């Protein structure tokens, strides 16, 4: 794959992912939105299809990582070189920045109508339902491990039927992770999806915004990174070597 194509594809795919994903949270949380208070099912469903759209855009050109933890896992599994990984990571962060800015612009009149600063931050970044750092880290680790391990299986030689369905299996995977494992921390499972918009939240002149909760910000970065690493190691050790796919 050409690095320029990878970069553009990942910027566009991750941008679409964050735009549509963060926008549904804005619609549910911000005052005077027609979607206000429509709930967790709406958020998780839209995030799943945001992933579908991102993969649809980037898939033919970059494999649609859209997630630094996915890129790291693919790197450890030998699917890309380190130089390519740098391109992916840069593009994913830039795409996340762009998507987050577009959400701000799209919901511009609604920020000043919403008094709760915590809701404004929640549009952009995840936070724990119960703040307990070790268990919050565990939630992000486990969600990303499941994401990465199943993605490896979907793309493996034993699952060509699933791979032929394109982005749909990954979208359904993200949906079930959100419904089953997302209630604890908001299931970032993607460092770019959380850190990129959190930085934009800190930068943009959002009326009445509060702190960007930097003391928690490392959890939705480190948890997914460790989850992606272990998923790659377990996949290679168990699914590939022990089951004999190679």
Residue 217: domain span: 3-242
| All residues at 6 or more sequence positions from 5 whose CB lies less than 8 Å from its CB, including other chains | 61, 62
pLDDT of residue 239: 66
What are the tokens at 83?
Answer: 């130089």
- Distance from C-alpha of 172 to C-alpha of 46, rounded to nearest angstrom: 11
pLDDT of residue 161: 53
Neighbours of 37 (CB within 10 A): 8
Place of tokens 């850190």: 195
Cα–Cα distances in angstroms (integers) from residue 110 to residues 34, 88, 136, 164, 202, in the given order: 11, 33, 30, 41, 18
Digitized pLDDT (tens) for each residue of the chain, 246 residues in all: 799 999 999 999 999 999 999 999 999 999 999 999 999 999 999 999 999 999 999 999 999 999 999 999 889 888 899 999 999 999 999 999 999 999 999 999 999 999 999 999 999 999 999 999 999 999 999 999 999 999 888 876 665 555 545 789 999 999 999 999 999 999 999 999 999 999 999 999 999 999 999 999 999 999 999 999 999 989 888 866 666 655
Is residue 168 classed exposed, middle or buried when 0-12, 13-18 and 19+ CB atoms within 10 A define those classes? middle
Look at the chain and report how many structural domains it folds into.
Answer: 1
Give the CATH number of the domain where residue 235 resides: 1.20.1080.10
- Distance from C-alpha of 220 to C-alpha of 96, rounded to nearest angstrom: 14
Cα–Cα distances in angstroms (integers) from residue 8 to residues 35, 83, 103, 159, 166, in the given order: 32, 16, 20, 28, 20
pLDDT of residue 167: 86
């Amino acid at each position: 794959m050409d690095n320029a194509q990878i970069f553009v594809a990942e910027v566009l795919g991750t941008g679409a992912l964050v735009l549509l994903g963060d926008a549904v949270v804005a619609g549910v949380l911000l005052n005077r939105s027609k979607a206000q208070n429509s709930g967790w099912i709406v958020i998780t469903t839209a995030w799943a299809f945001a992933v579908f759209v991102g993969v649809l855009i980037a898939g033919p050109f970059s494999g649609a990582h859209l997630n630094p933890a996915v890129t790291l896992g693919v790197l450890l599994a030998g699917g890309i070189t380190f130089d390519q990984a740098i391109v992916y990571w840069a593009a994913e962060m830039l795409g996340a920045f762009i998507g987050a800015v577009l959400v701000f612009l799209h919901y511009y009149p609604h920020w000043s109508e919403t008094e709760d600063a915590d809701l404004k931050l929640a549009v952009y970044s995840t936070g724990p339902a119960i703040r307990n750092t070790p268990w919050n880290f565990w939630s992000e680790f486990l969600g990303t491990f499941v994401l990465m391990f199943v993605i490896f299986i979907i793309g493996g030689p034993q699952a060509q039927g699933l791979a032929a369905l394109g982005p749909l299996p990954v979208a359904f995977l993200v949906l079930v992770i959100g419904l089953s494992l997302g209630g604890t921390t908001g299931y970032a499972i993607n460092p770019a999806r959380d850190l990129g918009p959190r930085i934009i939240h800190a930068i943009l002149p959002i009326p009445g915004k509060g702190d960007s909760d930097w003391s928690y910000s490392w959890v939705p970065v480190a948890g997914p990174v460790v989850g992606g690493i272990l998923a790659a190691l377990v996949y290679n050790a168990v699914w590939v070597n022990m089951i004999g796919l190679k």
